[in-house]
Structure 1
């Protein structure tokens, strides 16, 4: 199914029409039937963009709008691979971040949010970008300096956005933190945003803190769950220590684990593993909300 991802401003820019014209065509010709966001705004798909482009091109050839639409509905071959501008912006953002061009990176993010829906930016631009940065760091294609710069930039932008996300009062509090001495926050940052999108009250602590400090903070915050992320296997001993302390001091606490190091040891951390996709996350989180789900 071709999902909606572009707001009307983005579509207008992509096809060379103004929003008023697009809305008029929808009313007069029923040319499109866009999805609606939760707030009621029109959300258009790649197929919608391709259709409008085709009609605009026929207009330039001299056809009326009504005739172009009529021709479009005929069973002729109009095969066209729609261009996903989100991929293009994601590539531009990766280049800006790995070149340490902070101002340019902000401009690209501003453009993405002005053109696309929030879900589109997070799921198709930010999420894959975080993954790409992590993979390239692990393979040695970029340095730890690049990863830290990208993390700091995205954390600042996403923290601002997360403040705009409403908290569902029926969902519990979750603390997200790296394993002690672990500094790689990218995966945890994205999972935190996923939780906030779902309405959870999330406390993001970022880089790992000493075990005793984690215990102290958990006493203070009284969360329903603590999520620990561990990327480097060197930090597994301290992760195990933190896991043992939390399980001992907070027997009712749900503890989730993610990150490359723990994902390689499913037999060791199985019940705590979050998984790596939306379905796995929902399944794990369902244990926090047994009556309502996520």
Structure 2
């Protein structure tokens, strides 16, 4: 092992040392920039002892009950955290997770329908769907779920929310809100939750698919002329792919002054310090969107 450490550790060795799967290690590397392994001439990633220590610190923070976002913040700010008690998971969420772990789409659909009818839409979103998505994210990030379990379960939830939106009755003169994920943003569910909440406030909504091109976003704004546009950044991936993305979005907003542009999601938190918003408003809550009206 000493000889290997001098030249670098392979992902399989790091996996054995940390207890994380190779898939999770690579995802943490790509999504959060925690470590930056060198490449051997044959293309293999080579990790250092410092990389292993970093991963172990994040694992310890998560074992103490911190979310991934909290763990990253504490690690980067060198704080000594207090263990955070985890909120209890409802019976609805536990039952849905069990079906998802077994790839039981029919069972997922039945439980989602039952929870919706039992709670009503507003409570269903806040006490079932949002906690469920957090649990799925934690299971995937910790390696307890593989990518297929996360993907199949998330797709079933997304399709269920889309179906609710399609069957939502609104008056014809309802104002229009357009929702778009950012380019390279594949997580649609948070956007559908926001749009459903907007519909409960009387808005007609349209959602673009995952990872649209910037040109497609502008084309939709010009064709539909929505009163408000919600840009969703669930992860920081769009900004990693394109460091000039926010400036380009500002240019689009400048060319389309009749639409109010908003951007929100966890992906903006690490990047907002670089923003100098002129036309786009940062929305931390949905109330920021609803309460912002043109003077």
Mapping 1:129-278, distance limit 5 Å: 129-138=132-141, 140-168=143-171, 171-236=174-239, 237=242, 239-240=245-246, 242-269=248-275, 272-275=281-284
* Offset, 1:168: 4.9
Residue matched to 1:36: none
- For structure 2, the residue ranges without an aligned partner over 5 or more in a row are 1-88
Please identify the structure whose Cα radius of gyration is greater. Answer: 1
The Cα of 1:144 is off from its aligned counterpart by 4.1
Q: State the TM-score, normalizing by the size of structure 1.
A: 0.60
CA distance in 1, matches of 2:173, 2:159: 27
Distance 1:98 1:241 in 2: 41
Distance 1:211 1:282, change over 3 A: same
Number of matched residues? Answer: 202
Residue by residue, what CA displacement relative to the aligned partner does 1:117-161 show, whole Å, maximum 9, x if unpaired?
333322211122123323444555444433332332112212222
2:90 aligned counterpart, secondary structure:
helix
Shift of 1:220: 0.8
In structure 1, stretches of 5+ residues that fail to align are: 1-85
Going from structure 1 to structure 2, the CA distance change for 1:255 and 1:140 (only over 3 Å counts) comes to: farther
What TM-score do the two structures reach when normalised by structure 2? 0.60
Q: Where does 1:67-146 land on structure 2 (aligned, <5 Å)? A: 87-138=90-141, 140-146=143-149
Deviates more, 1:138-147 or 1:257-266: 138-147
Alignment of 1:282 onto 2:287: yes
- Which digits, 9 at most, give the CA deviation of each residue in 1:161-214, with x for residues without a partner? 223323255652111111112111122121122112222111011302111121
CA contact (8 A) 1:165 1:197 kept: no
- The separation in 2 between residues aligned to 1:288 and 1:138, in whole angstroms, is 39
CA RMSD in angstroms comes to: 2.7
Counterpart of 1:206 in 2: which secondary structure? coil
Q: Deviations over 1:20-70 (max 9, x none)?
A: xxxxxxxxxxxxxxxxxxxxxxxxxxxxxxxxxxxxxxxxxxxxxxxxxxx
SS at match of 2:205: strand
- Mapped partners of 1:156, 1:197: distance in 2: 19
